[in-house]
Structure 1
Amino acid sequence: MSFPSTTVAWTRPLQQPPAYNAVNPRTTLQAAPAPPDMGATGSKPKKVEWPPAVREYVRRAFDPANAIPGISSIEMQTKLKETISYYAERNAQDEVSWPTYPLPQELLQEERRKAALVMSAAAPSNGATNGFHHAYVNDPNNHTNSTSPQSKKRKSQDAEELQAQPAEASVPPWRKTNLASRMTFTDGHNEKRHKKNTASDAASKFEQAELEKRRHRFQLGNNGSKTTPPWGSPRKDEDEMPTGPVVGTNQSLEKSYFRLTAPPKAETVRPLHILEKSLYMLTKKWKAEKNYNYICNQFKSLRQDLTVQHIKNAFTVKVYEIHARISLEKGDLGEYNQCQTQLKALYAQNLGGNPAEFKAYRILYFVYTCNKTDMNDMLAELTLADKTHEWIKHALDVRSSLALGNYHKFFRLYLEAQNMGGYLMDMFIERERLNALANISRGYSNVTLRFLTDELGFDNDETCREFLESHGAQSIIEEKDGNQFRVKIREAASHFESLRAAAFSKVDIKGQI
């Protein structure tokens, strides 16, 4: 149909003839021919009706229960659109089993897993890598091959593949055209690309060197078939390193500790009955010689032999408890924490030992580190029976006395500490003494040295005086009535405040739980 032709003349008064020939504008509009799918009445295109199976597939894709961590909603929607569009363009929606077809998030997860496998199995040879990649791309069971919707993301394709693909009118031309065929470069560009490729080759060699280091780190062979990569690999169990327990045959009572860099051998591991004799010998040597470096090395070796043989029983608990007590006695918090961590897991298996004793140590340790989060978790784990136990109750009283600022009760509890609790409290006794001195300096003007000795839990006046002098407070001590000493505590209030702030600013330890 056409609209009537109209002509509009544009005129305006002129003072002189124009320097151009006037041309009347064309105002006739010719209606565009109707598309094939529109009738003579010019109705709108018919709405696409998706099969119920496709709509159910979309619903399942958006179901939060089917979400996969690490795959965003935008990525899922993009994948969903590509998948449905691929089959819609070929009018193959009804040929797909949508109830069993993988969801878009599952397709993305599978793509990432296979990409990780390709990277992990990459060999130094370019030919081997290309061959593996070719087999991976043309795998008929792979959803990312050239016959699936995911092939549209490939930046370039082989010429043979392009010729093998049928020319379909429904496929847009930009999806069938090789991207490389639409790009041209001058000679100058080619030189730049050659230089860039040379730099890339150098970077690739560096990456190969790093990959080789990682292969040795994870104890891989040249073909990478002996150990599972960190992200997992569908290798057979017989290809993996054996993880079963080793049955030791070594008969030596003494054996130095060495960190394992390979699977242990039976001839270097001692069996249980030899380990029991070794523990008896080590406890006697510790009482007689007190050589901590030797004892610590022997205990670490003993613990290692227990670990590689998967021995977890009452004897294992005993070994870790004795080593933890020796470490506390020598102030080695690193080894103590390793033992304490293992003991917590062993106590959970009801293997015996002294769980109440080491629960008390954990409370005192959290007091030392000022770790309120772990302290709250520890308090939540305690049962009513635990809270009434003598050793645990003592540790809880220590915590509450410091929380309330009751230094008088705290130092009394310090003198009453049982087992190895006193050694743990020694870790933070100096800090709390400075804290108490800062509080006393705000409430007292002058005090006797004997008063500070009793309040701060010192053994005698001489030890208390040495503590004050070592912290720069010798100027406030003056002799009175012979052997009596008076301390002008108020004069050093600001000094003790600064010492307290420094003491609480940092806890320097290693091997923290």
Structure 2
Amino acid sequence: MFNAMASPWAIPPPPGTQGQYGYQQSVPAYHPVQVRQTFNQQPLSYAPMTTQQAPQAPQPAAEAPSQRKKIEWPQPVRNYVQRSFDPSNLIADIPRPEMEARLKQTISAATDSNSLHTIDWDNLPLPQVMIQQERAQNALLWRQESVDLHLAGSGSVNSARDMTSRKRKSQDVGRDEDSSSTPPWRTTNNRNGFEDRVTFQATNERLDRRQQPSSPDDSPQRNISKFQKNLEKRQRRFDGGYKSSYQASASPEPTSGPVVGTCQNLEKKYFRLTSAPIPSQVRPEPILRQTLELLKKKWKKEGNYSYICDQFKSMRQDLTVQRIKNEFTVTVYEIHARIALEKGDLGEYNQCQTQLRALYAQNLGGNPVEFKAYRILYFIHTCNRTALNDVMADLTPAEKEEKAIKHALDVRSSLALGNYHRFFRLYLDTPNMGAYLMDMFIVRERLAALSNICKAYKPDVKLRFITEELGFESDGDAAQFIFDHNGQDLLVEQSDELRLLTGKAGSIFDSAKKDAFSTVDIKGQI
């Protein structure tokens, strides 16, 4: 017969049964049959046995001593398993298979290390509690990276205009604007911005402001909406829930302050943290400064974006867990954002831009003018008019006179007025690395302009006119653009020059324009 206590991880019978658990046993509706003694009893697995499992095939009794070694499970281990499956200790949001897998892992590790008799099983957290602690710790790490990072810096890379191209490379963009007089950004105005929905700090500021009663007679509870109550509940889960569960962890006790790294390796792969960071695996600030110089040289020489992106994410993680707040941190985020822009990686750029916005709000240096101009161009690309209006409302008169921001505002104005001639002149003279952002929506704007040209100029126009008006670098690029949008039959040669038959092309480019403006992909993750 199956002996439930033969293995420490066997599941106790449900309430209402008898046996070794002290419950009342009901009378079975069958007669027990003696099991044949010639079959060898198979050891139990860690997973609980169910009624659907098929019996194991019998093995000869003579081979059993050489194949299996019987393990004597201490009584504290058995009690630990019983507590794990006690209904009062189960946690609703933790699946039973995940809990059983953690239980199996814990007992296996103790068996392999011969520590079954040395571990304090009575005080060891249950497997479901271990899983809950890991989840809370992961949530804290996410919050710490997106909210608690109040870093400063004033980084610079050599500023030099590339004379062979209208675009700047990431290694050429530096601190060419005087941003020391720029006041910090106001975070309370961006009520509907994308970053406000991500940045928990800005959300808390709006929550605190809205919860203030308008008069002494007003009740605060009366002014709290359902959305605000959900935010309060989420904050309590991050604050109180994590602290209470983490203190009961069986892992080594965390220090009260931030981690102080001791790793001396200049290069380290990025990996997502699933437990408390280990100081020996975290690089201190002097090592990180050497790493940044090494990465800048490698990026300029090799241009391996996959490697560079992984290394920069690892640096950002080391800065976050150590809570380093100085000039160096802003430099790391700014350089990573520029490299991501150059490669068209909007996913990493968004992460850097969101953190930079919080850093600039602390008035800790860096290049806020440059990246505020990038934000305006980014919202133009995503057609996010609400966030764009919020950014414009935050601008001060001094910021509006800055070259990069003035250019971005002119781009917005030209598109709002439908002045495609001015828009493409601005596109050909974009400061810093804004041209990489404009490249992301230049195709749809060219289609819109070409659709208007076909309505205004009939029956045909010179291809050279299209090249100059739409900001193409050559007639070949303009012709290729027309071919790519099913305009192969619209170019004809007359008097030794190519002309576009605008009278026949109106419907083609009008349809392509509608398709281009129908959806905007803002993920951009490489």
- TM-score bucket (shorter structure): 0.5 to 0.7
Tell me the residue number matched to 1:346: 359
Tell me the residue number matched to 1:222: 127
**Change beyond 3 A, Cα 1:238–1:208:** closer
1:25-104 matches, within 5 Å, as none
What fraction of aligned residue pairs are identical, expressed as a percent? 57
Pick aligned residue for 1:454 from 468, 473, 485? 468
Q: Give how far 1:244 is off.
A: 3.5
**Change beyond 3 A, Cα 1:216–1:312:** farther
Q: Give how far 1:381 is off.
A: 1.2
Residue aligned with 1:459, SS: coil
Q: Give how far 1:215 is off.
A: 11
Runs of 4+ aligned residues of structure 1 deviating over 3 Å after TM superposition are: 124-128, 203-209, 211-217, 219-223, 225-244
Pick aligned residue for 1:307 from 299, 320, 326? 320
Rg bigger for which structure?
Answer: 1
1:225-236 matches, within 5 Å, as 227=133, 230=237, 232=240, 235=244
Q: Give how far 1:437 is off.
A: 0.5
Q: Deviations over 1:81-129 (max 9, x none)?
A: xxxxxxxxxxxxxxxxxxxxxxxxxxxxxxxxxxxxxxxxxxx98999x
Q: Deviations over 1:204-223 (max 9, x none)?
A: 99968626748999x97437
More helix by share: 1
**Change beyond 3 A, Cα 1:361–1:209:** closer
How many angstroms apart in 1 are the aligned matches of 2:425 and 2:328?
A: 36
**Change beyond 3 A, Cα 1:505–1:296:** same
**Change beyond 3 A, Cα 1:214–1:407:** farther
Residue aligned with 1:370, SS: coil
Pair 1:399 & 2:284 matched: no
Q: Deviations over 1:341-371 (max 9, x none)?
A: 0000011111211000000000000000000
Q: Deviations over 1:486-510 (max 9, x none)?
A: 1111211111111000000111121
Tell me the residue number matched to 1:186: none
Tell me the residue number matched to 1:210: 95
Tell me the residue number matched to 1:59: none
How many angstroms apart in 2 are the aligned matches of 1:355 and 1:215?
A: 51
**Change beyond 3 A, Cα 1:479–1:314:** same
How many angstroms apart in 2 are the aligned matches of 1:216 and 1:298?
A: 33
How many angstroms apart in 2 are the aligned matches of 1:126 and 1:373?
A: 60
How many angstroms apart in 2 are the aligned matches of 1:438 and 1:296?
A: 39
Tell me the residue number matched to 2:479: 465
How many angstroms apart in 2 are the aligned matches of 1:480 and 1:423?
A: 36
How many angstroms apart in 2 are the aligned matches of 1:421 and 1:413?
A: 11
Pair 1:429 & 2:442 matched: yes
Residue aligned with 2:505, SS: helix
Pick aligned residue for 2:337 from 308, 324, 327? 324
TM-score, reference length from structure 2: 0.55
The answer for unaligned runs of 5 or more in structure 1 is: 1-123, 129-197
Q: Give how far 1:441 is off.
A: 1.0
Tell me the residue number matched to 2:300: 287
Give the superposed CA RMSD: 3.2
Amino acid aligned to 2:319: L
**Change beyond 3 A, Cα 1:216–1:413:** farther
The answer for unaligned runs of 5 or more in structure 2 is: 1-10, 16-50, 52-84, 107-124, 137-236
How many angstroms apart in 1 are the aligned matches of 2:91 and 2:319?
A: 41
Q: Give how far 1:480 is off.
A: 1.7
Indicate conservation of the 8 Å contact 1:338/1:511, yes or no.
no
Q: Deviations over 1:128-166 (max 9, x none)?
A: 9xxxxxxxxxxxxxxxxxxxxxxxxxxxxxxxxxxxxxx
Indicate conservation of the 8 Å contact 1:312/1:346, yes or no.
no
How many angstroms apart in 2 are the aligned matches of 1:496 and 1:214?
A: 59
Indicate conservation of the 8 Å contact 1:402/1:410, yes or no.
yes
How many angstroms apart in 2 are the aligned matches of 1:276 and 1:244?
A: 22
Amino acid aligned to 1:387: K
